[in-house]
Amino acid sequence: HPFRRYLYRSRYAEHIRQFLQHFPVEQMQFVLLDELLKDPEAVCRRLCAFLGIEFKDSYAANWTGARNVRSHAPRWPALQRLLRSEGARDSLPARALRRLNVRLGPPIPPVDPADRAQLRAQLAPSVADLAALTGLPVLERWGYGGGAA
């Protein structure tokens, strides 16, 4: 199936169910990234309350501003191993590290609108399942409407 990779990664409820085999849902807290970016302090306070720990301003400080969340770890496993070696990170300038950390090859093209519609239709039951499982407002936020998908 041409969308297998998209479908697998986007079926969040299936992934959460793997954790539910080991932990009760009451021990889990679910957060949408857009909520975290919109109000990082409120989300971090909610998470701290859930965990029973004291909130510190520094917890929310790294989430200010709408931006993509990016790892500072290199994408390539070989480069990760190199940078873990003694002195390697200090010997490479930050600009060189950023350049090494970009995806090689042409940019990934946007998904064709017809393909996107087909993916959304195939994912609709999974999104409804995610909403039921987590209580997150994903049906509304992701454009599936407020009721059944």
Residue 149 near residue 40, CB atoms below 8 Å? no
Between residues 62 and 48, the one the model is more confident about:
48
| Model pLDDT for residues 22-55, shown as the tens digit of each residue | 999 999 999 998 898 889 999 999 999 999 999 9
pLDDT digits (tens, 9 = 90+) for 109-135: 788 899 889 999 999 999 999 999 999
**Of residues 46, 70, 40, the one with CA closest to residue 58:** 40
Single out the residue of 47, 26, 25 nearest to residue 36, CA to CA.
47
| Model pLDDT, residue 57 | 85
What pLDDT band is residue 6 in, cutting at 50, 70 and 90? confident
pLDDT in tens, 81-108: 666 666 665 666 666 655 665 555 566 6
For residue 48, give both structure tokens: 């701290």
Question: Tokens at residue 13, please?
Answer: 């409820």
Q: How far apart are CA 145 and CA 149, in angstroms?
A: 7
Q: List, as one string, the DSSP characters of 6-62.
A: HHHHH-HHHHHHHHHTTS-GGG-----HHHHHH-HHHHHHHHHHHHT----HHHHHT
**How large is the angle between the packed helices 12-20 and 113-134, nearest 10 degrees?**
30
Residue bearing the bigger pLDDT, 70 or 61: 61
pTM to 2 decimals? 0.66
Report CA torsion sign: 73, 76, 80, 83: negative
- What percent of the chain lies above the pLDDT cut of 90? 44
